[in-house]
Amino acid sequence: MFKFHSIRSRLTVNFLAIIAAVMIITSLFLYNQLERFFVNNMLDSLTRTGIEAGESAAGLLRNPIDITLRLSAHADSVSRLAGARVIFVNSQMEVIADSVRVGGLLGQTLDREEIATALAGEVGSSVLVSELTGQRVVQVAVPILGEGSDVIGVVFLSGSLHELYGGDQMPGILGRLRNYLLLAMLLAAAVVGGGSVLLARRFTGPLEVLAKAARRMGEGKLDQQIVVSSRDEIGYLAEQLNIMAARLNYYTSSLKHFASNVSHELRTPLASLSLITKSMKDYDMEPEQRKEFLDDLDQELDRLIALVHDLLELTKLEEGIKRTVTFCLAELLSEMAAQLTPRFERQDVRLVTDLPPLPVWVDGSPLLIRQAVHNLLDNALNYTSAGGWIRISVWLEHRWTGVKIEDTGIGIPEKDLPNLFERFYRVEQARTREAGGTGLGLAIVKETILAHGGKIWVESKEGAGSAFYFTLPLHRSVNNN
């Protein structure tokens, strides 16, 4: 079973984890850098002290009289100055002076790696734990140079790092620093934790609004509109959700309206069919009367078939055009005009064409475009009186071609123009003229043009005729040229 985990809690935990990781890494880095700084600083200080002490000891070693006494006094002086133990060693690694008088190493051989390095002419150093005190110490061995730069002895210094590391009872500098860092981490964690909660709440607040709106939409309440308060991705998501809700609401309303219209359109012919069949069943009729009823029955069936056909056409158009070809629009219109001219002449209406001399290539379904133009011409012919005219013209504009079908008919009331292409919409004048049709012709024309990537609109003035316009994108090669 799905278990809900809020984004707010996950964001808070993630923020805390990231901040904690950064602080731990930063603290460890700072701790190690400070430790290295203090140790290196002590090494440098002891090395400088050893060099100065070695220069002084070199003069003392030239006079062997009371050398041990004089070097021991010098070792005491340097030890007090440097705060470290000072030992002088001759070239045979024998201790000839030690700042520690009682329990010192005077007279003993001090065989250490640092001293061996110093006897070779280099400064030797090390950081280790003393075997005697158990504390960390820094040890430096500096060569004492005689005349001719020969190594005649070594100054060995050993300084304690107790002040830096401390002991069990009293923490050193690094110990206190570690405690301060831990305290700072705890305080920062508290501050960052509170800030993370506030930040997560600020970030997830709009998402919760979106979630509530989406839940209400899922319950069928499609009139939801979210206030867009930001221009970031969440604001964009809210805007798109508003658009989706508006479209769903529109399509739902359209579907209800469409179902209502279909039921209304079906009710009349079905009622007529029911009345005709009951009349033929219940009453004895003369052959002529029966034929008249059968003709009425045939007309109502034709109307139903036409309605179903138009509904299927609309459904297909909404699914898009699956197969397209490149065809010449001007040639198609010219052929249609030639085929329809006799019919127009029988009704004393002139059909005029104004087509470009050059081919006009478009992509799409010539059959659907032919049907759309045929519907527009049928409408124009139905509402144009004898002696009038209908003109088909084509124009080119950049990447588009346009078709205009205008007539000298009765025109369309201004109040009907916005709804003219809606399904089952009929102008009142059209009903009074009993022009027939299913009320889907112009809706099919609109869907056909939209499916081809074009636009369609109408201009009309009541009593002064109408002009229908639609555009289609030109074929790609034509666009490139």
Please give the domain boundaries of the chain with CATH numbers for all domains.
Answer: 7-178 (3.30.450.20), 233-318 (1.10.287.130), 325-480 (3.30.565.10)
The whole-number pLDDT of residue 259 equals 65
CA distance linking residue 160 with residue 85, whole number of Å? 9
The whole-number pLDDT of residue 315 equals 66
CA distance linking residue 303 with residue 300, whole number of Å? 5
Strands, E, within 134-188: which ranges?
A: 136-145, 151-160
The whole-number pLDDT of residue 1 equals 38
Phi, psi of 332 (to 5 degrees): -60, -45
CA distance linking residue 481 with residue 476, whole number of Å? 9
CA distance linking residue 108 with residue 451, whole number of Å? 106
The whole-number pLDDT of residue 455 equals 94
Which tokens in the block code for residue 369? 């475009």
C-beta separation of 469 from 456 below 8 A:
yes
The whole-number pLDDT of residue 283 equals 74
Write out residues in the chain with pLDDT < 70, as ranges: 1-8, 131-134, 166-170, 203-205, 222, 224, 228, 230, 251, 254-269, 300, 303, 306-307, 309-311, 313-320, 428-438, 477-481
Which tokens in the block code for residue 382? 């139905």
The whole-number pLDDT of residue 142 equals 93
The whole-number pLDDT of residue 2 equals 40
217 forms beta bridges with none
